[in-house]
Homo-oligomer: A and B are copies of this chain.
Amino acid sequence: MSAEKVPSLLEQLDTLETNLYQQDFLLTWKQSDADLRAVLLAAEALEEMWRANVSARVFQGGLAVSNFRDKSTRTRFSFASAASLLGLSNQDFDESKSQVAHGETVRETANMISFLTEVIGIRDDLFIHEGHRYMAEVAQAVETGYREGVLPQRPAVINLQCDLDHPTQSLTDLLHLKKTFGSLEALRGRKIALSWAYSPSYGKPLSVAQGIITLMTRFGMDVVLAHPEGYDVIPELEQLAGKHAQESGGSFRKVHSMEEAFRDADVVYPKSWAPYQIMERRTALLRGGELKKLEELERECLADNARYKGWECTERLMRITKEGRALYMHPLPADITEVNCDAGEVAKSVFERYRVPTYQEAEHKLYVIAAMILLTRFESPAGVLTRLLDKAEPRRFG
């Protein structure tokens, strides 16, 4: 495959006034539209270059540090892949094997792991009000370290999922939508249903839902958030989605019925999460070490949760979407009824019909992360990619 599509992507990238150089990528709503468009264009260019066997190794060594405070497969491998793609060595920061266990401060640790580091990717999504705070603290620490002359370069902190946002996922989703509908402009006026769905497990982060409603409203989409009573997301982020919709000419509304959300939708995104208020109580109990009350809370939640087994993305519901063939989306892994659980977020036949596009979508994430690294670490990313393309060093020999 040739890299023929790349020059036009880089031309578009070159016209954008971005503000990511020497910055972090923590929350999509802190970034301009140009920043977001640039991430997508750079990701597309890198993906085409890989397929055309053009090496994208902009670094000859240096570290990409990952810090996973929760389990992860695809984000872990996406981050490691992005590092390898660009020529960085991936080094996992495992707090249990570190001096953090000796009471070291975040400020200090962040500097100590960063002397040769270009990027620090963090997942911290278990506790409400904590994940973003931690990432911001790390970002502040390396920014200060760089200004003070401690660090020879300023590593970018990239949010690999926090309590508020999941930007590498939501931008991967946006890229999938762009490719599916042809352009970002083609998303205008399209209805996307971000709906809560039933899962037998408990305590899933809210950040996917929050990331989608705040991002898609910026591109003129008609975003409908659906969930059972009590399964609210963070109120400020609902308000932000409303504001984004007003500015972009899209819309945002909330309903308490999956049917209502799915009706005439172009895109459906059924996904489980834990109620915001529950997450707050849970965080408080965890902080207080009140394990007994925590167990009670979990029992209570699971009982409550079980009342909403009807919130499943079924064939019946898919039929009421636009022309009966809305695009189904999920960040994976989905709870698929009769595949990995008795009753879950989506019916087996629905998932299976959309399995291949959903898997293909997942591929974008590594390029989204690589694009974030490129945009935060290079002043002229389009120029860098152009020179790589001209150099045309094969990624794979032979």
Residues in A lying within 8 Å of B, measured CB to CB: 50-51, 55-63, 65, 68, 71-74, 76-78, 80-81, 83-91, 93, 97-105, 108-109, 111-113, 115-116, 145, 148-152, 201, 332-333, 335, 339-341, 356, 359-360, 362-363, 366, 378-380, 383-384, 387-388, 393-398
A378 contacts B360, C-beta separation under 8 Å: no
Task: Choose among B81, B100, B152 the residue that contacts A50 (Cβ–Cβ < 8 A).
Answer: B152
B398 contacts A101, C-beta separation under 8 Å: no
B73 contacts A104, C-beta separation under 8 Å: yes
Chain B's closest residue to A56 (CB) is B61
B50 contacts A57, C-beta separation under 8 Å: no
Q: How far is the CB of A273 from chain B (nearest CB, A)?
A: 14
Cα separation A116 to B85 with both chains bound (whole Å): 8
Copies of the protein in its oligomer: 3
Q: Known: A72-B99, A91-B80, A102-B71. Is A396-B112 also a contact (CB below 8 A)?
A: no
Q: Known: A97-B68, A150-B359, A333-B108. Is A366-B396 also a contact (CB below 8 A)?
A: no
Q: How far is the CB of A234 from chain B (nearest CB, A)?
A: 23
Cα separation A103 to B55 with both chains bound (whole Å): 35
Q: How far is the CB of A5 from chain B (nearest CB, A)?
A: 15
Chain B residues in 8 Å Cβ range of A398: 58, 378-380, 383-384, 387
Cα separation A182 to B292 with both chains bound (whole Å): 61
Task: Choose among B72, B145, B362, B384 the residue that contacts A359 (Cβ–Cβ < 8 A).
Answer: B145
Chain B's closest residue to A150 (CB) is B359
Cα separation A340 to B101 with both chains bound (whole Å): 11
Q: Known: A103-B335, A333-B99. Is A57-B58 also a contact (CB below 8 A)?
A: no
B99 contacts A89, C-beta separation under 8 Å: no
Q: How far is the CB of A46 from chain B (nearest CB, A)?
A: 11
Task: Choose among B81, B99, B152 the residue that contacts A51 (Cβ–Cβ < 8 A).
Answer: B152
Q: Known: A61-B84, A101-B71, A333-B99. Is A116-B366 also a contact (CB below 8 A)?
A: yes
Q: How far is the CB of A351 from chain B (nearest CB, A)?
A: 10
Q: How far is the CB of A337 from chain B (nearest CB, A)?
A: 12
Cα separation A161 to B191 with both chains bound (whole Å): 51
18 contacts between A and B (CB under 8 A): A50-B152, A55-B61, A59-B395, A59-B396, A60-B393, A61-B86, A63-B81, A71-B98, A73-B93, A73-B104, A74-B99, A81-B116, A89-B90, A108-B332, A148-B356, A150-B359, A387-B397, A387-B398
B115 contacts A366, C-beta separation under 8 Å: yes
Q: How far is the CB of A354 from chain B (nearest CB, A)?
A: 12
Chain B residues in 8 Å Cβ range of A93: 73, 77
Cα separation A149 to B47 with both chains bound (whole Å): 14
A73 contacts B98, C-beta separation under 8 Å: yes
Question: Which 4 residue pairs of A and B lie closest in terms of their CB atoms, listed nearest first?
Answer: A84-B89, A104-B333, A58-B397, A103-B340
A62 contacts B112, C-beta separation under 8 Å: no
Q: Known: A112-B332, A116-B84, A360-B149. Is A62-B99 also a contact (CB below 8 A)?
A: no
Chain B's closest residue to A359 (CB) is B150
B61 contacts A76, C-beta separation under 8 Å: no
Chain B residues in 8 Å Cβ range of A201: 102
Chain B residues in 8 Å Cβ range of A388: 397
Task: Choose among B97, B115, B360 the residue that contacts A71 (Cβ–Cβ < 8 A).
Answer: B97
Cα separation A80 to B72 with both chains bound (whole Å): 22
Chain B residues in 8 Å Cβ range of A148: 356, 359
Chain B residues in 8 Å Cβ range of A341: 103
